[in-house]
Amino acid sequence: MSVIPDPVPVDRLHFALPPVHATAEEERTHRRQRLAAALRLFGRLGYEEGVSGHISARDPEFPDCYWVNPFGAPFEDLTASDLVLVNGDGQVVRGGQHVNQAAFTVHAQVHRARPDVVAVAHTHSLHGRALAALGELLDPLTQEACAFYQDHALYDAYTGVTVDTEEGRRIAVALGSFKAIVLRNHGLLTVGTSVDAAAWWFIAMERCAQVQLTARAAGKPVPIDHREAVATREQLGSDLVAWINYQPLWRRISRAEPELLS
């Protein structure tokens, strides 16, 4: 009779956690590579709409400066070296390409209001825009949607393309301490303490919007009760959980397209 192998000791099992870097330069490289990967993923997921949309990441050495995708560059072609560093006024301080000033007006104000945030993600995704056109929040219809329960906001206004800092400030105020916001008639915006977390929250929120719209079209959705929704948010709503959920996507694209790291 075969003998069942002994269990592997728990302390010998590998479990990935967010890395800690010894220098600002190492952390900068890490953030830029993760940013390029997230932008490529967003392109493959169909979130790109013309020249609209950004993911930005705070520089670890210069906290009032942010790495961002250059204006007009296709998401799916970007590499870490393509990214542009801009200051809080949207002026390029490293790199040779322009940035979308309208989009960065919002990002800069959110970064300024939220020093805990490393990354901000906003694109014009299909289902996010549909939810925004209804001027609605996500309902706690699924386990995944509960991660956003009472942790996202609605910016209940639309004044055209955002070109002034005051509009960006109002959006940052509406976001408050939450992880995400629905911009009415515009789309979704998410934040995170890492690029991975902000990207995952955007992907998850877009999918939750799709589920909500699909369920409503099919019939009358049944929401999860308040107590269970809160308990599920406490289990699944942290940036660490978002980071963990994002790792399969990171591994897939970084292995398939290693040139993005350059």
Other Cβ atoms within 10 Å of 133 Cβ, number: 13
Amino acid letter, 52: S
Give all strands (DSSP E) within 23-78, no chain letters: 54-58, 65-68
Show the CA angle centred on residue 117, arms to residues 242 and 92, nearest 5°.
Answer: 120
- For residue 179, give both structure tokens: 């992880």
Residues in the chain predicted with pLDDT less than 50, given as ranges, are: none
* 115 φ/ψ angles, rounded to the nearest 5 degrees: -65, -15
Alpha carbon 131 to its chain centroid, in Å, reads 17
Strands 65-68 and 119-123: unpaired
Token pair recorded at residue 225: 């009760």
Residue whose pair of structure tokens reads 């105020």 in the numeric block: 173
Q: How far apart are CA 257 and CA 173, in angstroms?
A: 38
CA distance linking residue 115 with residue 45, whole number of Å: 29
Length of the chain: 262
Query: Cβ distance 247 to 195 under 8 Å?
Result: no
Q: What pLDDT shows up at residue 100? A: 85
Separation between Cα atoms, residue 235 and residue 128, nearest integer Å:
24
Topology annotation, domain 23-256: L-fuculose-1-phosphate Aldolase (3.40.225)
End-to-end CA distance of the chain: 54
At residue 76, the 3 state secondary structure works out as helix
Domain residue extents for the chain: 23-256
Put the strands of the sheet holding 187-192 in their side by side order: 92-94, 84-87, 65-68, 54-58, 119-123, 187-192, 180-183, 152-155
CB atoms closer than 10 angstroms to residue 90: 19
The residue type found at 175 is L
